[in-house]
Amino acid sequence: DQQVKQNSPSLSVQEGRISILNCDYTNSMFDYFLWYKKYPAEGPTFLISISSIKDKNEDGRFTVFLNKSAKHLSLHIVPSQPGDSAVYFCAASRNRDDKIIFGKGTRLHILP
Amino acid sequence: DTGVSQNPRHKITKRGQNVTFRCDPISEHNRLYWYRQTLGQGPEFLTYFQNEAQLEKSRLLSDRFSAERPKGSFSTLEIQRTEQGDSAMYLCASSLVPRLWNEQFFGPGTRLTVL
Q: Which residues of A touch B33 (CB under 8 A)?
A: 99-100
- Across the interface, whether the CB atoms of A99 and B48 are under 8 A apart is answered yes
Look at residue A49 and tell me whether its pLDDT is greater than 90.
Answer: yes
A37 in reach of chain B (CB within 8 A): no
Q: What is the pLDDT of residue B100?
A: 61
Beta partners for residue B20, in sequence order? B78
Dist. CA B52–CA B33, nearest whole Å: 12
Residue A96 confidence class, pLDDT cut points 50, 70, 90: confident
Q: Is A5 exposed, middle or buried (0-12, 13-18, 19+ CB in 10 A)?
A: middle
Dist. CA A41–CA B33, nearest whole Å: 19
Dist. CA A49–CA A47, nearest whole Å: 7
pLDDT tens per residue, range A80-89:
999 999 999 9
Dist. CA A69–CA B20, nearest whole Å: 44
Select the more confidently predicted residue: A112 or B1. A112
Q: What is the pLDDT of residue A18?
A: 98
A53 in reach of chain B (CB within 8 A): no
- Mean pLDDT of the region B43-59: 93
Closest B-chain CA to A97: B102
- Mean pLDDT of the region A82-105: 92
Dist. CA A46–CA A2, nearest whole Å: 21
- Across the interface, whether the CB atoms of A99 and B41 are under 8 A apart is answered no
* Nearest residue, CB atoms, B42 vs list A42, A45, A103: A103
Dist. CA A76–CA B47, nearest whole Å: 31
What spatial distance separates the first Cα and last Cα of chain A, rounded to whole Å? 38
Identify from B23, B103, B111 which residue to disrupt to test chain A contact, counting A C-beta atoms within 10 A and taking the largest count.
B103
